[in-house]
Amino acid sequence: MQNSEAMALSAALLAAAGELVQRIHEGVVARGFEGLRPAHGFAFARLAPDGATVTDLAVHLGVTKQAASQLVDELVRKGYVERRPHPKDARARLVVLTGPGWACTRAADEAAAEAVGAWSDVLGEAEVRGLREALLRIAPEGPVRPAW
């Protein structure tokens, strides 16, 4: 592997990831959810199954818990999540999605499927599947929110 090929792969990877995030975000906006940034989507992904604490969210996003708390404030203000008392720990609070929060999560799923579908048209479904599995083997533990 020559250096220039490694750089070409890096650039292609960044371009693909950037374009995907952009398209998902546009799809979400097109479905009527405004005032959100991609970072909020990363948060929704963590909150989706059963909710999470602010600290969980901070770890997931790779930021301080103060930053995660501010992000939750914002989502509460916009009606996408709410803070509920934690069933097992009186210090903690469980942040869960509201109705609009779930709707937005579904919209993001749809937008993602749409964006990836466009790739299937170019590569074919089999190769897209191969792509996903190769990436999963490469970076199973990569940061969710790459910061740079």
Partner DNA sequence: ACCATAAAGTCAAGTAGCTTGACCATCAAT
Partner DNA sequence: ATTGATGGTCAAGCTACTTGACTTTATGGT
* Closest C-alpha among 52, 21, 48 to residue 37: 21
Interface residue with DNA, options 23, 31, 78, 86 (CB under 7 A): 86
Q: Are 66 and 85 in contact (CB under 8 A)?
A: no
Q: Which does 89 bind (CB under 5 to 8 A by kind): DNA, a copy of itself, none?
A: DNA
Q: Are 21 and 38 in contact (CB under 8 A)?
A: yes
Q: Are 62 and 144 in contact (CB under 8 A)?
A: yes
What would the x/- binding string for DNA be over residues 4 to 43, using CB under 7 A? ---------------------------------x-x----
67 in contact with a copy of itself (CB under 8 A): no
Q: How far is the CB of 20 from DNA (least distance, A)?
A: 19
